[in-house]
Amino acid sequence: MRIGVSLRFLAITGALALAACAAKDKDAYVERPVEALYNTAMDEMVSESYTKASKAFEETERQHPYSIWATKAQLMAAYALYQAGSYDESILALDRFIQLHPGHPDVAYAYYMKALDYYVQITDVGRDQRLTEDALKTLQEVVRRFPETRYARDARLKMDLTRDHLAGKEMEIGRYYENQKEYLAAINRFRIVVDKFQTTTHVPEALHRLIECYLALGLNDEATRTASVLGYNYPGSEWYRDSYALVTNSKDLPPDLRAQKGWFAQVVDSIF
């Protein structure tokens, strides 16, 4: 008797579990008009429930893949993921949109949004700058592909910050090498800033650090030429004043040269 009761109990509970699963599956997919699905997703956006909104936009496309709303939903899902901070997922969604709709009127926006996904993740210069490099590449792609759009105008402004971050990273590494007396390695880093990131705020310091390294290695001619470049291009900067004092008082320079009045100005005149 007990065994029979137990079997009946298990059969009943098993049936209930199966019924619950079936009900759950049924609830997971409820076909709805495309306008209703899209409006639900937009309502979630307005309420700033971005994760829910992205799923609702994805459901719009899933149920009505051939509707004009499906294409809009793809782009909106990527935007919702961006707003939710799910940047990697947003990038994947945008890559898919670009691949499927290369000639769509909103493809410029898709490229721009992809650049923003990288751009907002730019961290301080003390960390790995891979995302900064990705941001710069994607911003450049926006400018190259859509030069006359408003997205390109904003991309150009954001490119300045990304370059400044990348230059800042090179400066940090260069300073580390200089402090370790690895002067050649430091020079390579500072030269990258001067040659590759000429429009950034780090160039005056990079020139000054180059002078320090050249003097430390006894490369006096290189030091004086670099000092002249610094004085010519950034005459009012603190780095110019520091370099002037450094070069004119360097013990590595010949005494008679250090004693000459206006020596630094003479060097500048002789080069320029």
Question: Model confidence at 29, in pLDDT bands (50, 70, 90)?
Answer: low
Domain boundaries, the chain: 32-104, 202-272
Name the pTM for this structure. Answer: 0.69
Q: What pLDDT was estimated at residue 139? A: 95
Q: What are phi and psi of 29, to 5 degrees?
A: -130, 105
* Among the ranges given (43-47, 74-78, 149-153, 246-250), the one the predictor scored with the smallest mean pLDDT: 246-250
Residues 195 and 174: their CA atoms lie apart, in Å, by: 14
Question: Model confidence at 40, in pLDDT bands (50, 70, 90)?
Answer: confident
Residues 21-46 have a mean pLDDT of 69
**How would you class 182 by CB atoms within 10 Å of its CB: exposed for 0-12, middle for 13-18, buried for 19 or more?**
middle
The helix/strand/coil state of 74 is helix
At 111-168, the pLDDT tens digits run 999 999 999 888 765 566 788 889 999 999 999 999 999 999 999 999 988 999 899 9
Q: Which helix (H) or strand (E) holds 125?
A: none
Question: Model confidence at 247, in pLDDT bands (50, 70, 90)?
Answer: confident
32-104 — its CATH code?
1.25.40.10
Q: What pLDDT was estimated at residue 43? A: 86
Q: What pLDDT was estimated at residue 196? A: 92
Average pLDDT, the chain: 81
At 102-126, the pLDDT tens digits run 999 999 999 999 999 999 888 765 5
Residue 260 has pLDDT above 70, yes or no: no
* Sign (positive or negative) of CA dihedral 96, 101, 103, 106: negative
Question: Model confidence at 11, in pLDDT bands (50, 70, 90)?
Answer: very low
Q: Where are the beta strands (DSSP E) in 105-215?
A: none
Residues 6 or more apart in contact with residue 71 via CB below 8 angstroms: 97, 101, 104
- Percentage of the chain modeled with pLDDT above 70: 78
- In one letter, which amino acid is 194? V
Q: Are 73 and 39 in contact (CB under 8 A)?
A: no
Residues 68-86 have a mean pLDDT of 91
